[in-house]
Structure 1
Amino acid sequence: MAGNSDPLTPRAKLAVTAGKAVAAASRAAGRGSGSVIGGRVALKLDPDLLARLAQNLDVILVSATNGKTTTTRLIAEALGAAGPVVSNALGANMPAGITSALAGGSDAKFGVIEVDEKYLAGVARDTDPKCIALLNLSRDQLDRAAETRMLAENWREGLAGSKAVVVANADDPLVVWAASSSPNVVWVAAGQMWKDDAWSCPSCGGVMQRPGDDWYCGECGFRRPTPSWALSGDHVLDPHGSAWPIHLQLPGRANKANAASSAAVAAVFGVPPQVALERMYQVQAVAGRYDVVQFQSRDLRLLLAKNPAGWLETFSLIDPPPTPVILSVNARGADGTDTSWLWDVDYTRLTGHPIFVIGDRKLDLAVRLEVANQSFQVCENLDQAVQQAPPGRIEVIANYTAFQDLRRRVGN
């Protein structure tokens, strides 16, 4: 329980104070939220600070390739019914950003923390979480991220014997294999639209069989576990077989899946599904994602898609043709500099939409769309794309830094 005793040593308090000062200076200089630089300074002064900040909290870690920022926000909203929550809601999900977030929550009961996949094992070691939510694993940032099975192995080894309740997606074989080393797993049937990273068995390398929604390895017998929670249309089925309606302001099947996992996490802490799901309705947008903004007298809906699995889910959200679509792709450090992933995205799903292409790597994307037989226009910037788009709301899909550029341009 938080607030029982002060866990911070004088050195830790100094580290927190210094980190906050540096973060404030960074914000004042217009260099972003300052949470990462502030956390780095704090950890330099006290390398054990993350563990100290976490020791009076019930910590929940959320990790995945896609959906972790949104799911973190939904869980934080749901657990607010049981006590004050501190969270890294803006997505600074490596140790420095996490340390900054926890330093701001001195009277919190829960710490709901999004964690980058590569750092999950280390952050779990430092924070002694009560619960860990594992949603999915797919290819991302090809130039520097480990191949997906290596990430799954990292999770599997890092979580072996963990005391945490692991809430894991039963439909993703990589997640199931990673979570199976944990003694206490709650399985959620959250679905898996993108299957291209899960055709071979992570346990033995055999070929996965996928009859219907089921999956199993024909060679070693590794198979889908029986879920106790499930997403079923617009409802979450709980372990007692009750169906609870999902009402979200966030669009799409992927967010219903995030809500199902979030309800299972909330139940670990005694928050009933009905209460958890009602609270999730409050979330309208997450760090600008799904926001509809006005720009040049037009409505633009901003959608983030960082990798093939994310683009696939996003295509299912957009309004039908002839809704205009603007696509923006960068390949800066935070995106991964390798754009070969564009060839894994099925752009034929955009047939019938007027398409406008912008971003640092607009020519890479143009070649890909050409091969997919799509008609499109390459534009210099957002302003030009919006001016050329036919009437109606415009769907704008961008990868990570391209999305940040767009938010700055529209003043969001």
Structure 2
Amino acid sequence: MPLRAKVASSVSRTAGALSRAAGRGDGSVIGGWLGLKIDPDLLAHLAAGRAIALISGTNGKTTTTRLTTAAVGVLGPVATNSFGANMPTGHTSALAKAGNTPYAVLEVDEHYLSQVLDATNPHVVALLNLSRDQLDRAKEVAMMAQLWRSALVRHPQVRVVANADDPMVVWSVTPPVVQGQYVQGPQVTWFSAGQRWHDDSWVCPECGSTIQRNGEQWWCSGCPMRRPQPHWVVEDDGVLDPGGAWHKVTLQLPGRVNIGNAATALAVAAEFGVRPVDAVYRLRDVASIAGRYAQVQRDGRNIRLLLAKNPASWLEAFDMADEAPTLLSINARDPDGLDTSWLFDVDFSPLRGRQVLITGDRAYDLAVRLTVNDVPFQHVRTFAAAVAEVPPGRLEVIANYTAFQDIRAELDRVN
């Protein structure tokens, strides 16, 4: 690397280490921020010479990144932003901290995918899904798909692993037509993990006609766009690879959605030459992801933490949660998005019949939504009060970003 990049990388590592030593965080943002201030091209310099995978989408990025890192780890050391700092500062910090690893797997915020593509020139990009998320400040879903499409056109050499079940993702990797000619697009490997959330893909982004569905198949009623034939498919509790071999997936993570994340990880690892039969055993070692799915014992209760940040992820959280007392916690601070109207896009009816408690800064917004959905609930002021209100046994906790962090901090103080 140039001298400036070497100095910037050293400063990045030192700042991150000081931040961790001072208990001010994991250093994954401040280190990258300082490094990029010294050398704005530091991310590109750190990425050079590595085989890199980028993982992006609205939901499942952090978990899929962790699973992919485990799968690619068959080949050797892998740099990754394991704490979820998924913007260029986090990527820079992760690569600087890791040193000269031959491989890197980076979670990328969907808004920054274009910028990170340009900086890192990755070997493969995995595109998981696109759905509404923090619409008070984020782009509308079709606009995000257009940004992805424009970015991928500039990188036709990159391999893409994409979700065949999401029309927005499929359109984003489909080469556009310019003056009657298709622009060269990337090579695509399709995976199918099922898509339970459809409310952001009823309208074709290509022609504006309605998307029709029949089982797992979907197609546009007004143009040729339709679901491509997937190469990797979730089947029962395993994954079918492109050769037709079935691989049982054993995970410590709950829910069918995580088998889908595992299928994506296997598909990405295969682009690096990792055989599924070698990678699948690595996946079983992945447990809690930055506190998500963590299980903690407290006062005779087995408390499991589930993060849900938007309608699509709340739907999956209900699928993961056991039939047990459930605490819902909602905030609307800056990392969450300030608009809570999305609560009315969530169907809370799966919670009927169980003990439901609510808390958080915006508990009253949640109370209105549950009342409309005819779900009885009890409002509690604190997490400790919620624990006291449920009998010994399982307590499921579903919370959005800052509410989740508040509860994690409370559990850490006690334990």
Residue 61 of structure 2 is aligned to residue 68 of structure 1: yes
Instruction: Give, as a single letter, the amino acid of the residue that structure 2 aligns with 1:132.
Output: V
Which residue number in structure 2 is paired with residue 98 of structure 1? 91
Instruction: Give, as a single letter, the amino acid of the residue that structure 2 aligns with 1:110.
Output: Y
Contact kept, 8 Å, 1:84 with 1:107, in 2: the verdict is: no
Which residue number in structure 1 is paired with residue 206 of structure 2? 203
Map 1:2-401 onto structure 2 (within 5 A).
8-162=1-155, 163-181=157-175, 182-320=185-323, 323-401=324-402
Instruction: Give, as a single letter, the amino acid of the residue that structure 2 aligns with 1:202.
Output: P
Identity fraction in percent: 54
Other structure's SS at 1:360 match: coil
Find the aligned partners of 2:212 and 2:269 in 1 and give their Cα distance.
33
Instruction: Give, as a single letter, the amino acid of the residue that structure 1 aligns with 2:94.
Output: A
Other structure's SS at 1:35 match: coil
C-alpha distance after superposition, 1:296-328 (max 9, x if no partner): 3321001111100000001011112xx100011
Other structure's SS at 1:395 match: strand
Contact kept, 8 Å, 1:289 with 1:304, in 2: the verdict is: yes
C-alpha distance after superposition, 1:350-395 (max 9, x if no partner): 0011011111111111111111111111111100011011332100
Other structure's SS at 1:142 match: coil
Listed as ranges, the gaps of 5+ residues in structure 2 are: 176-184
Find the aligned partners of 1:104 and 1:31 in 2 and give their Cα distance.
17
Contact kept, 8 Å, 2:152 with 2:186, in 1: the verdict is: no
Q: CA deviation at 1:161?
A: 4.5
Contact kept, 8 Å, 2:209 with 2:220, in 1: the verdict is: yes
Other structure's SS at 2:122 match: coil
Find the aligned partners of 1:53 and 1:405 in 2 and give their Cα distance.
34
Q: CA deviation at 1:96?
A: 0.4
Listed as ranges, the gaps of 5+ residues in structure 1 are: 1-7
Instruction: Give, as a single letter, the amino acid of the residue that structure 2 aligns with 1:16.
Output: S
Instruction: Give, as a single letter, the amino acid of the residue that structure 2 aligns with 1:210.
Output: R
Find the aligned partners of 2:102 and 2:302 in 1 and give their Cα distance.
40
Other structure's SS at 2:29 match: helix
Other structure's SS at 1:215 match: strand
Find the aligned partners of 1:9 and 1:240 in 2 and give their Cα distance.
44
C-alpha distance after superposition, 1:5-25 (max 9, x if no partner): xxx222112112222232233
Which residue number in structure 2 is paired with residue 5 of structure 1? none
Find the aligned partners of 1:25 and 1:393 in 2 and give their Cα distance.
39
Find the aligned partners of 1:110 and 1:375 in 2 and give their Cα distance.
50
Instruction: Give, as a single letter, the amino acid of the residue that structure 2 aligns with 1:46.
Output: D
Instruction: Give, as a single letter, the amino acid of the residue that structure 2 aligns with 1:348.
Output: S
C-alpha distance after superposition, 1:316-348 (max 9, x if no partner): 11112xx10001111111111111111111011
Q: CA deviation at 1:31?
A: 2.4
Contact kept, 8 Å, 1:335 with 1:401, in 2: the verdict is: yes
Instruction: Give, as a single letter, the amino acid of the residue that structure 1 aligns with 2:68.
Output: I
Find the aligned partners of 1:296 and 1:26 in 2 and give their Cα distance.
33
Instruction: Give, as a single letter, the amino acid of the residue that structure 1 aligns with 2:31.
Output: G
Contact kept, 8 Å, 2:10 with 2:96, in 1: the verdict is: no
TM-score, scaled to structure 2: 0.95
C-alpha distance after superposition, 1:63-105 (max 9, x if no partner): 0111000000000000110111000011000010110001112
Find the aligned partners of 1:22 and 1:161 in 2 and give their Cα distance.
34
Instruction: Give, as a single letter, the amino acid of the residue that structure 2 aligns with 1:231.
Output: V
Other structure's SS at 1:104 match: helix
Find the aligned partners of 1:31 and 1:333 in 2 and give their Cα distance.
19
Find the aligned partners of 1:133 and 1:254 in 2 and give their Cα distance.
16
TM-score, scaled to structure 1: 0.96
Instruction: Give, as a single letter, the amino acid of the residue that structure 1 aligns with 2:371.
Output: E
Contact kept, 8 Å, 1:11 with 1:46, in 2: the verdict is: yes
Which residue number in structure 1 is paired with residue 178 of structure 2? none
Other structure's SS at 1:249 match: coil
Which residue number in structure 1 is paired with residue 181 of structure 2? none
Instruction: Give, as a single letter, the amino acid of the residue that structure 2 aligns with 1:168.
Output: A
C-alpha distance after superposition, 1:180-219 (max 9, x if no partner): 2333000111211100000000111110010111011110
Other structure's SS at 1:256 match: helix
Instruction: Give, as a single letter, the amino acid of the residue that structure 1 aligns with 2:255.
Output: G
Find the aligned partners of 1:113 and 1:377 in 2 and give their Cα distance.
40
C-alpha distance after superposition, 1:101-133 (max 9, x if no partner): 011122311110000000001100100000000
Contact kept, 8 Å, 1:11 with 1:45, in 2: the verdict is: yes
Find the aligned partners of 1:183 and 1:266 in 2 and give their Cα distance.
18
Find the aligned partners of 2:204 and 2:45 in 1 and give their Cα distance.
39
Contact kept, 8 Å, 1:50 with 1:127, in 2: the verdict is: yes
Other structure's SS at 1:40 match: helix
Runs of 4+ in 1 over 4 A off after TM superposition: none
